[in-house]
Structure 1
């Protein structure tokens, strides 16, 4: 059998991944140290700065509270928060996020832009890279602001806020997958796959798999990356098969069908138990946060003067970080097993082991996948099995 990589390709892959592995080893300690720094030193200065900026904005822009258009917005925000001060709370949360983002910005740029370009994986210009980073930061700022107003505002008004907030959000999680087709469109253009043999064969394959879908789309990711990709987005009436333009360029029709068949295996996974467990875990987490916020208010941690004080937000971030750190190895193990099962499903659906093997080999070469990453990295929570192990697990063709 032909080797997965030549010695030269393998050396290139190791050079590409070595900094990534170092970062993966260091990142948990760096993130923990930064959270402890914010909690131990920066909470009070950042809070005082946010209060001062909010007061200055109030003096200069207070007239907006009485203008016909903006008056309704400020009235709604005041009611959501329950008292004056929501502006300072949002500014505190955003300033904390900005501090962390700026601190890690050089590292993020080096890994996401410099390293990717050095090894031929990115096609972005500095301008498009900066624009995508800006869009990501704006989305994060919106999510953080919604979290502050929604969670802290509700906690100030209702004793059982965690239940009032947790139940609808948990239900929203159950149906959130229906929105998946629209998220990536914020970054990439999509267009329907043209009529032709490939589209016909995909439709026939999905009929055989008994999977209904709305469309097959081509996602133009080549403007940013040279990686090939295929995935299913959405649920029910919004389910969409998405192929990026790279996969259509690099793979034959049989190999594209093998990739689609693998993704079809994920559609047939039993997702509801995991979603139900996630929803229950969310409610339990919000209850734990309620206990934590009450303890902080009683003891005056980080200068907190009342329940649901915004100065506890970094403490919540620390709790979430520790939970994710401990949960990721378990979730990664389940995810890797689901990938193996999707491989087996694809082989049952197509009966074409040779094309499936070629698809994995080409994907590994184009995406510069390490065939044998360090075992600690796999156990730390890799979502996919190492590509070398996936290929080795295939039956003979």
Structure 2
């Protein structure tokens, strides 16, 4: 069997991945330092600025509280928060988030735009890149505002808020994957795969796999990236097979079917144990947050004057960072085993080892996968086994 990469390609791949490995090693310490700066120095000035800005907006826009259309919104927000002051809380949260984003902006832009272009992995124009980055930040700002009002507002109103919030959110997580087909459309155009041999063979393969689906869509990701990709989105009546336009350009029909068969393996995974565990972990995290908020209010950390003071938000970010740092290797280990099982399922479904091997090789070359990344990178939480290991696990001809 021919080598996966030529020496020149391998040197290019190592040059491409090295900055990512350096960032993976440095980022936990950098994030810890940034949160320490927020907690130790910036909480007080940011809170004063947010309070002053909210008061200024109240003076200028106070008429909205009595306007026929907007007054219902303000009444609902006051009721959710339990008192006035939710505007200052939301502004404080957005200020801290903006500060972190501005600090990371040069690094994020260099990695997501400059490095990707330097190694031929991106088709983004500057305008399209800026538009999608802004879109992501706006969606993030909405999520932060909802978090502040939902978590802090409920915590201020009821003692056992953590399970009152945790149970419905956990249930929502169980069904949220049904919305997956619609999230992708926020960034890329999608259109149905035209009728033809590939669509026919894919339908037959899914019938053989006993997987019902609503459609096969082609996602035009080539405007942003040169990576090939295939995935299933949604659940039940919303389940959709999504192929990006790159995979249709780079792979043969047999190879596309091998990729789809791998993704079909994930459909047949026993998902409920993982979903239930995730839901229980969420409730446990909310309970830990409750304990942390109570300790902060009792001891007056960061100038807090009551339970669920918004000034504790960076402290919650620190807790979440610790949870992700500890949980990442565990989640990564489970994810890599699921990927191995999906490979085995694909081979049982298609009985075409050669096509599956060609698919992995082409995907590795197009996506510039490191065949043997440093072991600590894998153990830190890499979601897929290294491509070299996946190829070595295939039955030999």
Answer whether TM exceeds 0.5 for this pair. Answer: yes
The equivalences for 1:337-352 within 5 A come to 337-352=337-352
Alignment-derived partner of residue 76 in structure 1: 76
In 1: Cα distance, 2:167 partner to 2:314 partner:
24
SS in 2 for 1:96: helix
Q: Does 1:307 align with 2:317?
A: no
Alignment-derived partner of residue 185 in structure 1: 185
Displacement, 1:159?
Answer: 1.1
What per-residue deviation string (whole Å, max 9, x for no partner) do you get for residues 122-177 of structure 1? 00100000000000000100000000001100111111111111110111111111
Q: Which runs of 5+ in 1 are unaligned?
A: none
Q: Which runs of 5+ in 2 are unaligned?
A: none
What per-residue deviation string (whole Å, max 9, x for no partner) do you get for residues 271-312 of structure 1? 000100111111111111111111110100011000000001
Q: Does 1:255 align with 2:259?
A: no
Alignment-derived partner of residue 214 in structure 2: 214
What per-residue deviation string (whole Å, max 9, x for no partner) do you get for residues 172-207 of structure 1? 111111111111110000000000000000000000
Alignment-derived partner of residue 362 in structure 1: 362
Displacement, 1:222?
Answer: 0.3
Alignment-derived partner of residue 204 in structure 1: 204
User: Normalised by the size of structure 1, how large is the TM-score?
Assistant: 0.99
In 1: Cα distance, 2:70 partner to 2:157 partner:
24
Alignment-derived partner of residue 372 in structure 2: 372
In 2: Cα distance, 1:23 partner to 1:161 partner:
37
The equivalences for 1:40-189 within 5 A come to 40-189=40-189
Q: Does 1:393 align with 2:393?
A: yes
Alignment-derived partner of residue 16 in structure 1: 16
SS in 2 for 1:4: coil
Alignment-derived partner of residue 26 in structure 1: 26
In 1: Cα distance, 2:50 partner to 2:271 partner:
42
SS in 2 for 1:339: helix
In 2: Cα distance, 1:186 partner to 1:76 partner:
28
| RMSD of equivalent CA atoms | 0.6
Alignment-derived partner of residue 383 in structure 1: 383
In 1: Cα distance, 2:379 partner to 2:26 partner:
16
User: Normalised by the size of structure 2, how large is the TM-score?
Assistant: 0.99
SS in 1 for 2:164: helix
What per-residue deviation string (whole Å, max 9, x for no partner) do you get for residues 22-66 of structure 1? 111101110111111111111111001100110111111111111
SS in 2 for 1:68: coil
